[in-house]
Amino acid sequence: MQIKFNQSSLEGEVSLPASKSISNRILMLQALCDDHFEILNLAESSDTKILQQSLITLLNSDEKFIDIDLFDAGTPFRFLTAFACLLEGRTIYLHGTERLHQRPIKALVDALQQMGADIHFEKHDGFAPLVVYGGGIRGGVVRITGNISSQFLSALCIVAPSLEFGVEIEITEEVISAPYLEMTLELMRRFGIHIGIKRNSFDEIKYVKISRQLFEGDMFIVNGDWSSAVFFYAMAMLSDTVNLRLCDLEMDGLQGDELISIIANDFGIVTEQEGLDILINRSSLMNENYESIYSFQNYPDLAVPFIVACAIKYPKCKFEGLHHLALKESNRILALQNELEKVGIELKYENNLLSISHLDFINRKGSVHFKSYEDHRIVMALSLFALVGFRVEFDKGDCVSKSFPNYFRELKKIGFEIID
C-alpha cells in the first residue's frame, strides 16, 4: 500500500467511525440488562465485532465449555474476563493472538479472585490464555492498582451491579487513562446505576462503591469517535490551509480525547461545533520553534498521532506519561523510534520523557517504507508523512479495521492518493 498527498491545502468532509470505546461499554451493559434495548450506530471496528460475537456466544451457547478466541482485542479480553465469572456452571477459555497473550491481566484476575472468582492461568502467571470457571463470584471489597489499565477498573464496575454483595473498589496508585473510567461510570449512570465515589485532593477517583441493582434499558445512539478525530487534527497541525468538517462528532465531554480540540489551539487550530459536526480551521501559522511539554498519562490514544505531528514540524515539544504505550497492540514507543529513524528523526526516551531530534529529516523526501506492527494507530499516524512530501508505503494497512475500517477511504475524500 502507498499513500501520497499532492494538494496544497487540507479541505473536505470526513465521516468518522462511531466510538469504539463507547460501543464496547454499551454492549456490555446491554448483555447485563434484563430489558432489551437497541443500540444505534454501533462501531464497525474489529474490536467491537469480536466483543459482540463473543457475547452472543456466551449468552446463547448451551455448552458447558466455551472457547472464546479474542484475537488481538484487548478491551474485550478484559471486559469478558470479568463477565465470564458471572456464568454459573460454565467453563470459559479466553485466548487470542501472541500479542494479546503478552498483555498483562494479573491485577484484574487478582481482584476478581478476591471476590470469589475461580480463574486459572493456562500457561504463564499473569497472562492469557485464561480458564474461567463461572459462578462463585459474590463481590465485596477489593484493592487494585490503577497504574496498569483503567479497563481493569471498568471491568469490575460493569459487573458490580450483578454481584450479590456489589463491589467496593479501593484504588491504589494513580489511575492511568482515567477519562475512560469516568466514561464507564457515566454510561452506567445513564442506565440507572447508582454509584458512590470518593476522590482525593487532585480530583482523582480513589474509591468506588456499587451495590447490587438492575440496569434500566433504554435506546442508545453511539456518537462519533474522538480518538479517530485526533488523526485529522494532527494533519491540520501540519497544514498551512485547513478547512475540515468532521461529521457526527459532538463536544459532550464523554470521550477524553476531545481534549485534542483544546490542545490544537496551541498550534493555531480552532474548533467549532456546527449542528452535529465539528469544523476545524487554521487561525494562524505557528512558529516551528514552539516548545512545550505534553502529558499523555490519561490520553494514550491521542499520544501517537500527536507525537508524529510534532516530530515532523514542532520538534522542540516533549512528551511524558507514556509508559503504558509499551503495553498496547505494539510497543508503540519502540515502534515510533524504529520507524521515524528511517526518515532522519530520532526519538529519545529517558526517565519517562520523550524528546525529538532532527538528524537529516529536512533534506529527505521520496519513498519511505514503514512497518505496520499490525497496530492500527501506528499505521494511521505514520500516514501523516504523506502531507510533507513522502510517498508512504506500508507492509500491511488492513490493521486499521481495529478502530477505523474506512480510514483510507476517508483520506481519499480529502485529497490523498491511495495505491493498493
β-pair type (242-247, 277-282): antiparallel
The grid cell for 169 is 473498589
Q: 248, 301, 360, 395: which one is catalytic?
A: 301
Q: Give alpha helix (H) positions in 272-395.
A: 300-313, 332-340, 376-382
CA distances from 298 to 39, 99, 106, 341, 419 (A): 27, 23, 21, 27, 36
The grid cell for 342 is 528511517
SS (H, E, C) 176-237: CCHHHHHHHHHHHHHCCCCCEEEECCCCCEEEEEECCCCCCCCCEECCECHHHHHHHHHHHH
The DSSP code for 351 is: T
- DSSP secondary structure of 71-87: TT-HHHHHHHHHHHTTS
Rounded CA gap, 157 and 270, in Å? 36
Active site residue 225: no
| φ and ψ at residue 343, rounded to 5 degrees | -115, 20
Rounded CA gap, 238 and 246, in Å? 17
The grid cell for 330 is 505494539
Rounded CA gap, 325 and 360, in Å? 27
Catalytic residues: 301
